[in-house]
Amino acid sequence: MEEAAQGGNIQSVKRVAGLALFLLVACGVPSEPAAPAPPSIELFSAESFDYRGTELRAHGFADHVLYRRDTGDARGERVKAIFPSRARSADQRATGATSIDAPRAWGNPLAQSADGEGGVRLATESGDRGATERASYRGEQGRAFGDRPVRLEGPGYTVEGPGFQLDTAHDRLDLGKAELVSTGVSEARPPAGREVVR
């Protein structure tokens, strides 16, 4: 019993020491002069929350993240972002939360930009799924896009296209010269409650 208590104390001390070391590095406590290097923070098994006021806009995870304090640029491996369901107009189907994941991603949270590659996947709680090799997001422009083949499927449809353009402000999805591969029902409906342009 005493060994278990000591083991727990050792673990607590390790956690506190690790947290203190991280805070010292993150807060920029001066150290001995060294060769100049870009100021960075490195995180493992990272989790993040993005709020606008009190509203949660995104919940993110990554196995590994490098963040540059001087520019705001970030690079991550095995990245996943979950976007909570948002209010939609009466003519749009509710999709629930949407998750996007990529083996590699980079961007700048300050500039509201992100790029993912290596097999970017999208999934909604309502069953819509999408996949493409590479995708980009530009928040200030309100658009997401990709120039690689894309496949979307869900309850009652499968659509493939040479790339995509998504206008997030108007929920308008353009798949270029898309092909309706199958519907599974008598009439296909647009994926994720969005207007689809073919």
Residue 56, domain CATH? 2.60.450.10
What pLDDT is recorded for position 140? 86
Indicate the DSSP class of residue 111: G
Residue 30 lies in a domain: no
Angle ∠(47,50,55) on CA atoms, nearest 5: 130
Residue 123 lies in a domain: yes
**Which residue range is the domain that position 81 belongs to?**
40-197
Work out how many domains the chain is built from and give that number. Answer: 1
Residue 120 lies in a domain: yes
Residue 10 lies in a domain: no
Indicate the DSSP class of residue 128: -
What pLDDT is recorded for position 93? 57
What pLDDT is recorded for position 84? 87
CA neighbours closer than 13 Å in the CB half-sphere of residue 158: 3
Residue 170 lies in a domain: yes
Name the residue among 163, 165, 167, 173 with its Cα closest to residue 128: 173
What pLDDT is recorded for position 44? 95
What pLDDT is recorded for position 92? 57
* pTM of structure: 0.68
Tens-level pLDDT at each residue, the chain (198 residues): 545 444 444 343 334 333 333 333 333 334 455 555 666 899 999 999 988 899 888 899 999 999 998 899 999 999 999 988 866 555 555 667 889 999 999 999 889 899 999 999 999 888 999 999 999 999 888 889 999 999 999 988 899 999 999 887 777 888 888 777 766 654 445 544 444 444
Classify strands 113-124 and 129-138 as parallel, antiparallel or unpaired: antiparallel
What pLDDT is recorded for position 158? 92
Residue 122 lies in a domain: yes
Q: Could you read off the pLDDT of 146-176 as tens digits, one per residue?
A: 999 999 999 888 999 999 998 877 778 888 8
Residue 33 lies in a domain: no
* Buried residues in 103-120 as b, exposed as e (16+ CB within 10 A): ebbbbebeeebbbbbeeb
Residue 136 lies in a domain: yes
What pLDDT is recorded for position 39? 60
